[in-house]
Chain A
């Protein structure tokens, strides 16, 4: 950290000297995610990938004399700590922030950014959200200064349930979620969308459990078993996900797990072979995807990846930086308002298909994939399951591709434009 600060200071000094000589510019982007504490590995993953992306963009010279720089700030997964860091960011006159973990922090940052922009016209901050999926941020809490590059919880459910329409062997579904805003959103969306698209599917159970507090999921598993469900839809992440799947295997529960975050850091390792063939995930990318135009990028990242973050996850992160760079070029400026105006409504040729940043709510619409975790090819799994996740022996394979328009949702956003 000390080294990073000295490095940043040296960079700033060098940039200052160069700018006097040749009017070069550094656009700093503050990355406000957990860099210490239990979720540090998640924050480090994003930072590692973003640093790689920024390095590549700078090397390509796309932005001419403008250089990008991403600086990490530790939010400790605490809304109040994130606001402290935002104050430091403002002090250092940085105008761009990016963040993704968690949705709670995102909400706090969004409000704080709105307030700051209101009280400080001309010094507005732009917020690039790469992972906080609470639907409200592109609906009733939408803001001109916020752009979301990850499909929100409702969008993911929309795609997941669309995939389900073709699965005739799913007849009885159990809903199990964490008892907080995200879990409630998943539960509500699941009910509504399953009823809409497959009214023949019976929802045989619906449970909420306290977030991160349950060690023993055996009681829940027994309930699922007693209900006769053949599939479980869950938004669980982290330990809640791994413990659930492990408990399921222990009790011999034979269900398909339809999840959002079973591919999350540490979860494949913790689930182990209990997950093989049974766990499905809705995501925008995986390393074994077909027609993978990001394959080389993925491989290049892996070559220089730090030991604890060996995988490439966030294609949406790469798309975010690419679109950001394009916006700067189009706006011919690094002022936040100009960049924002260029960014909204932008269409971009992503590595897996065209994506669009919707003007109405600043939500990125992109193709999604339903993927299954199986044993990697090296361990006897299917041949196309080549690259495994974090060395766990589990590899993702595509179950289905869901086009961008499948996930698009109507929005209640009434955006106030400056």
Chain B
């Protein structure tokens, strides 16, 4: 009779007859990517149906509801939307929503809330041990969770933008066909933005003690501030590179926006993509290293 617990797989490798059995067999550790995919599979469902998803739903439902309201208003008033007496087309309104709602608010917020929580939540719930005791590389846990974050946010943000596009762009004489290339660019830009912010805040979450506070300060303090000043400091922000990928005109809705417009240095698309790719790669590598090396002490 086997002394194995029922249901447990027989992990001992079967050796050919005549092979001397050693007392200590090194366990075969699966590689990073298959392990990360297993963690991804596990985490995607957890992320989607967590309490945080309610917040995410509200965040992304807002622009859709706003678009529905604007569409109704537009259909009731034949003269269309007006800003300072001038009629505004649907494409311009959509561009404004992309700037003000998605780039400046939703993407950084999702990055902060989800990115910082990738490892921090497991630590807080004291469940990190279950993952770390699995025979998988520790950094695979982080990578799997990061991909789950990316899939979860992309699958929610992109449909939301798509709905907003089809509701808003046809108003005020806008043409869906003419605006479609900019939509495709916007969707790509949002995916890159979510990836970059997620990687940066995943690093923050694995390295620092109060990642959420630090993340919020970075996203809504540091980033807008450095963009306001001339010089090289803005190159230490994600927004600087991300904003270069936006095809719409930056709205001038406030004094800060006017200042941003004045000091708006735009790197080329290639430079921005390379920089954002670099940010994602470096941040994930550093975060993976931190997870590998750091000892997480669970408070009792």
Q: Do A and B bind?
A: no
